[in-house]
């Protein structure tokens, strides 16, 4: 077994949308918004998951894609999984007026940030983007935390018709913010980088890469000399700008460089 492995029981497993699920566990885990855990499904695989809930009944929110998440999706209340973590560098709140931009399941690590920031008395605006209204996740949760939620859908079925970056750009033109936080597809991140650089706004982004160990040993999450699992997954704008591979290439599970 991997060092630090903790076996926990599933307390709740629910559908958030057609392809996104949330699994919460018995027990407690303290972590910073943006940190992640390694989840082991016995007999199947171990893979990284952002923490979408911390504290009591901590949890993860994930999209059912590969074999690992398909196996995870079949587990029910009372089943046992292995957890290592929390790992990585999370978000650092800066300023009093924050803009959070989440695309798809990028809301998983940013929802705890929204809740922590509003609890601390900060004014938080959340741009929540999805392909369609049916794929929106945590809209009600974030609104109930006190954040102002702005919805964008690619197909125009709810809110702003278009990408989350377009809606975010529009909000930044109208209002002043102290910092921007984002998580989603890498091309969304690189677009937000350009917007924030032009406006000289501090920005932090959570970057997703394949991780096999979570502790900077296996090199599977290498990004221009950095390890996303230990140096990130949250990076500041100055760091993001130095990543030549961001939004262009990544390593697959065999270690081969592929396009994004």
Whether residues 201 and 171 fall in one domain: yes
Q: CB of 11 within 8 A of CB of 20?
A: no
Whether residues 63 and 110 fall in one domain: no
Whether residues 117 and 242 fall in one domain: yes
Terminal-residue alpha carbon distance, the chain: 33
Which pLDDT score is estimated for 10?
98
Whether residues 74 and 27 fall in one domain: yes
Whether residues 38 and 163 fall in one domain: no
Q: Are strands 257-259 and 249-251 parallel, antiparallel or unpaired?
A: antiparallel
Residues in Cβ contact with 217 at an 8 Å cutoff, skipping those fewer than 6 apart: none
CATH number where 117 lies = 3.40.50.80
Q: Report the alpha-carbon distance of residue 177 to residue 99 in Å, rounded.
A: 7
Is the pLDDT at 252 greater than 70? The verdict is no
Asked whether residue 1 is assigned to any structural domain, the reply reads no
Q: Give the domain-ending residue among 53, 87, 121.
A: 87
Binned at pLDDT 50, 70 and 90, residue 218 comes out as confident
Q: CB of 246 within 8 A of CB of 189?
A: yes
pTM of the shown model: 0.93
For the chain, what is the mean pLDDT? 93
Q: For residue range 119-140, what is the model confidence (pLDDT) as tens digits?
A: 999 999 999 999 999 999 999 9
Mapped onto helix, strand or coil, the DSSP state of residue 170 is: helix
Helices (H), 120-152: 139-144
Residues in Cβ contact with 78 at an 8 Å cutoff, skipping those fewer than 6 apart: 9, 10
Residues in Cβ contact with 156 at an 8 Å cutoff, skipping those fewer than 6 apart: 162
Whether residues 161 and 240 fall in one domain: yes
CA dihedral 164, 166, 170, 172 (to 10 degrees): 70
Is the pLDDT at 146 greater than 80? The verdict is yes
Range of the domain at 197: 97-259
Is the pLDDT at 258 greater than 70? The verdict is no
33 token code pair = 């918004």
Q: Report the alpha-carbon distance of residue 164 to residue 125 in Å, rounded.
A: 13
Q: Give the domain-ending residue among 87, 119, 135.
A: 87
Q: For residue range 169-179, what is the model confidence (pLDDT) as tens digits?
A: 999 999 999 99
Which pLDDT score is estimated for 70?
96
CATH number where 76 lies = 2.40.30.10
Q: Which of 244, 189, 233, 235 is nearest to 211 (CA)?
A: 233
Which pLDDT score is estimated for 8?
97
Q: Is the dihedral of CA 84, 228, 89, 122 positive or negative?
A: negative
Task: Return the number of other C-beta atoms located less than 10 Å from residue 15's C-beta.
Answer: 11
Q: For residue range 111-122, what is the model confidence (pLDDT) as tens digits?
A: 999 999 999 999
Q: For residue range 203-213, what is the model confidence (pLDDT) as tens digits?
A: 999 998 878 88
Binned at pLDDT 50, 70 and 90, residue 2 comes out as very low
Higher pLDDT, 144 or 221: 144
How many domains are there within the chain? 2
Which pLDDT score is estimated for 4?
84
Whether residues 142 and 203 fall in one domain: yes
Q: Report the alpha-carbon distance of residue 81 to residue 198 in Å, rounded.
A: 45
250 token code pair = 């990544």
Binned at pLDDT 50, 70 and 90, residue 245 comes out as confident
């Amino acid at each position: 077994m991997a060092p630090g492995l903790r076996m926990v029981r599933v307390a709740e497993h629910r559908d958030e949308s057609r392809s996104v699920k949330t699994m919460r566990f018995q027990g407690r885990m303290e972590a910073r918004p943006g940190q992640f855990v390694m989840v082991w499904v016995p007999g199947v695989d171990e893979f990284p998951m952002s923490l979408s809930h911390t504290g009591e009944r901590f949890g993860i929110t994930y999209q059912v894609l590969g074999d690992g998440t398909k196996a995870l999706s079949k587990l029910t209340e009372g089943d046992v999984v292995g957890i290592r973590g929390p790992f990585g560098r999370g978000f650092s709140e800066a300023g009093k007026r924050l803009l959070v931009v989440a695309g798809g399941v990028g809301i998983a690590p940013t929802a705890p940030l929204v809740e922590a920031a509003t609890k601390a008395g900060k004014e938080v605006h959340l741009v929540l983007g999805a392909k369609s209204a049916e794929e929106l996740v945590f809209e009600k949760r974030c609104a109930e935390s006190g954040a102002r939620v702005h919805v964008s859908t690619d197909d125009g079925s709810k809110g702003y018709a278009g990408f989350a970056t377009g809606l975010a750009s529009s909000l930044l033109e109208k209002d002043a913010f102290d910092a921007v936080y984002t998580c989603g597809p890498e091309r969304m991140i690189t677009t937000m980088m350009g917007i924030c650089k032009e406006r000289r706004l501090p920005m932090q982004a959570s970057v997703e890469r394949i991780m096999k160990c979570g502790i900077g040993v296996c090199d599977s999450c290498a990004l221009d000399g950095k390890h996303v699992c230990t140096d990130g997954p949250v990076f500041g704008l100055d760091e993001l700008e130095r990543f030549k591979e961001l939004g262009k290439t990544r390593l697959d599970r065999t270690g081969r460089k592929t396009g994004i």
